[in-house]
Structure 1
């Protein structure tokens, strides 16, 4: 692994120093021989763990979204179980808290690279450097794979927003737009250009109340299913509950209702945080054909069954969506989200991604969006994707995550991908974590509802 170029570091440190926010920036405290905690010049706390039997590999972990006001400690692993297993196996692990909370992709990437530089200054250049992350951290990791691959031997994106920022916020708008149009006709609850958290909370409360009322009638449940289909919200959303049978549309709809209810609690408040970073509205639905979007949805048949049962006309509701006043974006805010961060598919280092099939927060179809981008960019040889048959967001076992590490290491060592089929991955997961049940499966996600590819 090459050391980070001095010219890039000079620019990076200038950026960090220019945004210093910590009263005691730039300090490091050695807690024990291999455990270091510190603060970068931009105020980002970081943590490093290096075992006495270090094998020469360091993993840079990027964590997921932290809402404004929430606790935000530095993290260097997806879980304590994973951190302990990797330390026992000789891996060094590092990571930062990022300089602030909310949609902080712009500051997160320099902070993470700054953490890697601090590690190199203290412990030397690693034999092998791997970036990995979960949720928004998976998206950040994909950004490293496309934009800063020269600093990494490989990357692992787990449950990531692989559709990129613009597509993410666009598709979130689609669901909000359908809920307001079909369940709260006449509502003026703002969906974009939210000036403050109070406005976002009030809008979410109004739409949640409409959602709750709709759930009490067959007609309302059909419309909720339609809104869920535009986001590809899965039928199975909670790993603590059994997976519904393929034709159990009622249970599927109840699960989707719960997922949409949770989505409303965060979809608008997080959007307001993101709009504050972008200085405007970064999403639009002008020109969007919602009938076509439904036709490509993984749960289209469920929606059609609910409409038949309700007696409503699906065609009429799709016409209502088509006729409703559309929302335009602010070009500068879109440009901000392209920078922070949307994808070309132009991988510059090997990447493995893993995703649960029943993810209600970041639907699994995001992986298809990224696979299309990578294929169009001619970089498919650098990407492998694998799927775990489980509900929930980032609900991997420790063994499933560690199996991805082993698989990527084989690719780095040999220049060739090993078998990434479910039997092999489950065997690797069991070797790491024999007490858990692992469930990699053969799976091919459907199309993402509204992809946004920079190369097109």
Structure 2
């Protein structure tokens, strides 16, 4: 690929003062051709030969973590999220933007000894795509709080479907992208009223716990500041209260319409639960959550079996073939076949991209025979992408060890915490053993029919 693939706007030497030390680096800012995506490259004077590439680098280039990585000798590059991204989201195109950035980098600074693709949220999503589809251009990958679009959509659907079938059959749970701001605010208020009313009764509390368990949503997770302390999963009362607060934080609203952009971009309704047995989905849930549900139903003298039948009998939701076709394309979905070392990290209180997705991907990777290339680490934190500086750099140094030696270092929580503490003792280090669900419910691999947009 020729350098004409990019338009270089700025190329100069800058000096930044960070933590009482000088970080000298060369900087390139430009716009890539075709889509005109804005990008940035920084190469420190003490470059160690490794390039870290991140979807969101442009907007966080001056953060403490980014400047610390420059200080350590890493070159860094990445993009600024496009203004039209919410309506034209395409991780496959984002991956091709990265390839153009690599070409620009090589033309200006030479070929890196290695490239590590990394990122959080949408950056994690495209990192998975790079590891599976464009592995020839990178050496390793770190995907944080990463989503697979169809998986996330359906996982988001299941808890809402339980609530709709048992508590509010009249309320909307799909097609949020078609709602105006005012309509979405009203829908949020209606759902809040339903849930608060349910929380006042024993059977309502049992049904809230059932929705979280079947949906495989975190009982302690959401956006903003955690409204309650992290519950003991064995304490049914505090666990259920946390489930309620998580549901309130995750019901349809302006803050939680993340799956809408998937449907807007795919030009159709993506979610589906046709043919599912919700009894099976319940059995696959977290064992402590299931125990809590059974106890709550017993205390309410209500029938769990009857409610599961009611859910199974409720009218199902079918996807649009055009949306399935769009999200079936390579680079837009993930099939559990990374071709380079891939470290996946996730916060356990992520209420936007649920940690169960990471469990499902790990299971699929092992099933496909790629387990030697893959590791997962979980961080005990509320929120989406709420990693500390030490935790993030520990993930990078873990990948560096894997690439240097050809073998994974110890990625158990104790070892990861020791590494994070060594990196920065003042920063949080919260890696934890994570039990999660017994089996992730929503692994989806596109069929030939899906890819062609055929009838189901």
TM-score band (shorter)?
0.7 to 0.9
Residue 49 of structure 2: aligned partner: 56
Deviation at 1:47, TM superposition (A): 2.1
What TM-score does the superposition give when structure 2 sets the normalisation length? 0.85
2:271 alignment partner in structure 1: 283
Give the alignment partner of residue 135 of structure 2, picking from 149, 154, 162: 149
For the residues of structure 2 that align with 1:319 and 1:274, how far apart are their CA atoms? 31
1:222 equivalent in alignment to 2:197: no
8 Å Cα contact 1:230-1:293 kept in structure 2: yes
Is 1:91 matched up with 2:84? no
- Report if aligned partners of 1:48, 1:76 keep a CA contact under 8 Å in 2: no
- Determine the structure 1 residue equivalent to 2:9: 27
Aligned mates of 1:281, 1:213 — CA distance in 2: 30
What residue number does 1:236 align with? 220
259-268 or 170-179, which deviates more: 259-268
Question: Of the candidates 246, 264, 284, which is equivalent to residue 259 of structure 1?
Answer: 246
**Residue 38 of structure 1, CA deviation:** 2.4
Aligned to 1:427, what secondary structure does the other structure show?
A: helix
Cα pair 1:200 1:272 within 8 Å, conserved: no
Residue range with higher mean Cα deviation, 129-138 or 109-118: 109-118
Using the alignment, how far apart are the partners of 2:210 and 2:10 within structure 1?
52
Instruction: Note the alpha carbon deviations across 1:314-338, whole angstroms, 9 max, x for none.
Output: 2222121111111111122112122
Q: In structure 2, do the counterparts of structure 1 residues 126 and 380 end up closer, same or farther at CA, with 3 Å as the change threshold?
A: same
2:444 aligns to what? Answer: 452
Q: Deviations over 1:376-432 (max 9, x none)?
A: 221111111122233332222211111111111111122121222223222211121
Structure 1 distance, partners of 2:161, 2:367, is 31
What is aligned with 2:167?
183
User: Shift of the alpha carbon at 1:191?
Assistant: 1.8
Q: Is the 8 A contact 1:157 1:354 kept in 2?
A: yes
Alpha-carbon RMSD: 2.6
Matched, 1:297 2:280: no
Aligned equivalents of 1:244 and 1:268: distance in 2?
A: 23
Q: What is aligned with 1:421?
A: 412
Select the residue among 313, 317, 337 that pairs with 2:303.
313
Query: For 1:242 and 1:203, how far apart are their aligned partners in 2?
Result: 28
Q: Is the 8 A contact 1:58 1:94 kept in 2?
A: yes
Cα distance change of structure 1 residues 194 and 98 upon mapping to structure 2, 3 Å threshold: closer
Return the alpha-carbon distance in structure 2 between the equivalents of residues 61 and 406 of structure 1: 16
SS at structure 2 position matched to 1:285: coil
TM-score in terms of structure 1 length: 0.85
Instruction: State the distance in 2 between where 1:392 and 1:268 align.
Output: 13
Distance in 2, matches of 1:117 and 1:212, equals: 54
1:367 aligns with 2:358: yes
Superposed counterparts of 1:98-177, under 5 Å: 98-99=81-82, 100-102=84-86, 103-161=89-147, 164-177=148-161
Task: State the 1:203 CA deviation.
Answer: 3.7
State the shift of 1:234 in Å: 2.6
Listed one character per residue, the Cα deviations across residues 229-266 of structure 1 (whole Å, up to 9, x for unaligned) are: 12222333366854322332222222222222222225
What is the distance in 2 between the residues matched to 1:219 and 1:274? 34
Cα displacement (A) at 1:57: 0.9
The answer to whether the aligner puts 1:80 opposite 2:70 as a matched pair is no
For 2:144 and 2:389, the matched residues in 1 are separated by 12
Q: When the two structures are aligned, how many residues end up with a matched partner?
A: 425
Could you say what secondary structure the match of 1:184 adopts? coil
User: Which deviations, in whole Å up to 9, do the C-alpha atoms of 1:185-237 show, x marking residues without a partner?
Assistant: 3x053623753444555444433332232223222222111111122223333
1:315-330 superposed matches below 5 A: 315-330=305-320
CA 1:113–1:208: 2 relative to 1, 3 Å: farther
Counterpart position of 1:401:
392
Q: Secondary structure at the match of 1:360?
A: coil
State the shift of 1:360 in Å.
Answer: 2.9
Give the Å deviation of 1:118.
2.5
Aligned CA distance change for structure 1 residues 29 and 160 (closer, same or farther; 3 Å): same
Which sections of structure 1, spanning at least 5 residues, go unmatched? 1-5, 17-24, 64-72
* Structure 2 residue runs without a partner (length 5+): 15-24, 449-456
Asked whether the equivalents of residues 135 and 160 of structure 1 are also in contact (C-alpha less than 8 Å), the reply is yes
Q: Return the alpha-carbon distance in structure 1 between the equivalents of residues 258 and 375 of structure 2.
A: 30
